[in-house]
Amino acid sequence: MLDSSREDTVASLRSLLDATGYAGPRAREALGAPIGSEHRPADLPLYLRRLAAPRPLHTLIKLFALHAAVPEAEARGAFGPLPIEDLAALGLVERTEGEVRPLVALAVAEGLVLARDRPDPVTFAVHPDHVLGVGPPALLLSQLTVRRAGGRVLDLGCGGGVQALLAARHAESVVGTDLNPRALAFARFNARLNGVRNVEWREGDLYGPVAGERFDLVVSNPPYVVSPESWLLFRDGGGSGDGICARIVSGLGSHLAEGGFSTVLANWALGGGEDWSLRPRRWVEGTGCDAWILRSETQDPLTYAAVWTRGPEAVGYDDALERWRAHYEALGIRSLVMGALVLRRRTAGPNWVRADELPAPPDRDASAALLRVFAGEDRLRTLGTDAVLLDEVLRVAGPLRLRQTVAFRDGTPEVQEAELSLADGLPLRGGADGGTIRLVQLCDGRRRLREVVAEMARSAGTDAGALTGPTLTVARRLMALGFLEPTDH
Ligand SMILES: C[S@@+](CC[C@H](N)C(=O)[O-])C[C@H]1O[C@@H](n2cnc3c(N)ncnc32)[C@H](O)[C@@H]1O
């Protein structure tokens, strides 16, 4: 188990990682791959050649990114004034037969250095209390988090602490909870390693450790996998189906402060024929929250089972695949949805729930875009009649991109497909015909929408009355996606 009580040694380790370049871009350049993602074992010879020159940075990468043992003399050279015995006392390495072996990996992500578990180097097996690094789901959650300065944050199922540590940058205080004491040992160590002091770690089941408390932000990347197993803490929510996601979302009613936001990653099962968003809509009922349900992918049971049972060496893959497939068949599950819920507690007035596709993960922090979507939806719900919407003064909310596919027909270029997207966050896509593009051009933050419609009718040589209905439909959609925002005119 990692020991974070030796504050001075952890601080010296961090200095070493900074001084050698392990914590910065130099390490990634040296390896030619991200530091800390799981590398294919077959690629080890390639990486070891890249790291052949005797340098402290290369030795640290071999140990903590590639999980390779190195000769003791080489390790001493790389650790400099930091004795191997001290790093062994932290639980970071062990000495065996003239070699130093790593016991954990050190990942570099989002400006943090994070200790994480590594699979067994020979069998690739993981233990039930395995502590994850920063994978695509963790990154997705961090990008879909509404980040505002100050307030209290809860990271539910914090694992090695990545979400809590990111929230600590903007929050006043953070609580990270986890059922797995081993994960909390990693989280404590990672807080020390990154010099973060405003996070408290608590052990327990879901909201148990924070009973009676409310937070301004709740984030959770729970063990959301719809699985027939229950042994792997980071993956299996316990019991079958998507019960853990339901418990987390429905618990928000008692743990989110008024106006507070939450993002929860979730998977859920579909029996076939029903609306894909029906199940998470039920979880939200009675929470006093508005909710935006996002679907990133839907998979058939076999494909889904393969994602979660295929290990690096495919040990036991065949059996597991069959067990999982049979489980889904027995439950009548026809497909599985991967997605996320973004919620905001608002107890004044009826709540709204919306569902949309998220075609790709955001490529950066989408906090501002999320806030625009919530503000846009609020505005649309309170606008009332078309006449009120026509009086709105709208503007384009951010740097807008227009991507067009043009084909030549008889030598004449013709737009076949056009797509609008905002460059500051959510990769939501709106089909863009000529009318949509013109609408966006004319929404300059000065004209009222009725003037925009009149201008569009004038330039098209048509009657404004005929254009009003379709233009308002498009304007509503663009407001709901956060592409157009109202100005306070
Ligand atoms: C997928 S990992 C997420 C880790 C980290 N938050 C992240 O974003 O990478 C899920 C975490 O939830 C924890 N967990 C599982 N069941 C739990 C429960 N009932 N209550 C609290 N935490 C739980 C696991 O131990 C694991 O650390």
- Residue 59 domain-assigned (yes or no): yes
Compute, in angstroms, the gap from residue 298 CA to the centroid of ligand 1: 23
Tell whether 197 and 233 lie within a shared domain: yes
Measure 89 CA to ligand 1 centroid, in angstroms: 26
Residue entry with tokens 């004038």 = 458
d(CA 482, CA 422): 9
Distance 165 CA to ligand 1 centre (A): 15
Percentage of the chain modeled with pLDDT above 90: 73
Report CA(209)–ligand 1 centroid distance (Å): 14
Domain-embedded: residue 113: no
CA proximity to 292, closest of 156, 419, 423, 144:
144
Q: Whose CA is nearest to atom 17 of ligand 1?
A: 179
Q: Name the residue at shortest CA distance from atom 2 of ligand 1.
A: 234
* Average pLDDT over the chain, rounded to an integer: 92
- In ligand 1, which atom is closest to the CA atom of 155? 6
Question: Is the CB–ligand 1 distance for residue 333 below 6 Å?
Answer: no
Positive or negative torsion for Cα 438, 356, 358, 394: positive
Is 125 part of any domain? Answer: no
Indicate if 350 and 413 belong to the same structural domain.
Answer: no
Backbone φ, ψ for residue 218 (5° rounding): -125, 125
Q: In this structure, what is the dihedral angle of CA atoms 14, 17, 20, 22, given to the nearest 10 degrees?
A: -150
Q: Of 323, 354, 375, at which residue does a domain stop?
A: 375
| Same domain assignment for residues 259 and 239 | yes
350 and 435 housed in the same domain? no
The answer to whether residue 117 sits within a structural domain is no
Pocket test of ligand 1: the residue of 126, 178, 248 to mutate, having most ligand atoms within 8 Å of its CB, is 178
1 assigned to some structural domain:
no
At 155, give phi and psi (nearest 5°). -110, 105
What pLDDT is attached to residue 428? 67
CA–CA gap between residue 271 and residue 283 (Å, rounded): 17
This prediction's pTM: 0.94
Together in a domain, 164 and 226: yes
Last residue of a domain, one of 375, 394, 423: 375
Number of domains in the chain: 3
176 Cβ below 6 A of ligand 1: no
Q: Is any atom of ligand 1 closer than 6 Å to the C-beta of 418?
A: no
Q: How many CB atoms lie within 10 A of CB 335?
A: 16
- Classify residue 122: in a domain, yes or no: no
pLDDT digits over 421-458, tens only?
A: 887 767 666 667 888 889 999 999 999 999 999 999 99
Same structural domain, 302 and 427: no
Same domain, 212 and 355: yes
Cα–Cα distance, 157 to 144 (Å, whole number): 17
- pLDDT score at 174: 98
The pLDDT, as a whole number, for residue 64 is 96
Tell me: do 360 and 395 sit in the same domain.
Answer: no
Looking at per-residue pLDDT, the higher value among 312 and 391 belongs to 391
Ligand 1 pocket member 157 (CB < 6 A): yes
* Domain-located, residue 305: yes
Q: Looking at the domain assignment, is residue 239 inside a domain?
A: yes
Co-location of 342 and 437 in the same domain: no
- Spatial CB neighbours of 16, under 8 Å, sequence gap ≥ 6: 22, 60, 79, 80, 82
Let me know whether 255 and 283 are in one domain: yes
Q: Based on the fold, state whether residues 395 and 482 are members of the same structural domain.
A: yes
Write out pLDDT tens, residues 247-292. Answer: 999 999 999 999 999 999 999 999 988 999 999 999 999 999 999 9
Half-sphere exposure of 288 (CA within 13 A, CB side): 14
Q: Which residue has the tokens 């806030």?
A: 371
From the CB of 132, is ligand 1 less than 6 Å away? yes
pLDDT reading at 239 higher than 70: no
CATH code, domain with 429: 1.10.10
The CATH number covering residue 311 comes to: 3.40.50.150
Q: How far apart are CA 160 and CA 175, in angstroms?
A: 13
Place of tokens 């699979």: 119
Give DSSP secondary structure letters for 48-89: HHHT-S--HHHHHHHHHTS---EEHHHHHHHHTTS-HHHHHH
> Is the C-alpha dihedral spanning 229, 230, 231, 234 positive or negative?
positive
Query: DSSP for 233-277?
Result: TTTB-SSSTTHHHHHHHHHHHHHEEEEEEEEEEEEEEE-SSS-TT
Burial annotation 51-81 (CB, 10 A radius, 16+ → b, else e)? beeeebbbbbbbbbbbbbbbeeebbeebbee
Q: pLDDT tens digits, residue range 81-140?
A: 999 999 999 999 999 989 999 999 999 999 999 999 987 766 777 889 899 889 999 999
The residue type found at 479 is M
Residue that terminates a domain, selected from 103, 127, 154: 103
- Structural domain containing residue 452: 380-486
pLDDT digits (tens, 9 = 90+) for 135-172: 999 999 999 999 999 999 999 999 999 999 999 999 99
Residues 474 and 456 reside in one and the same domain: yes
Query: CB 136: neighbour CB atoms within 10 A?
Result: 9
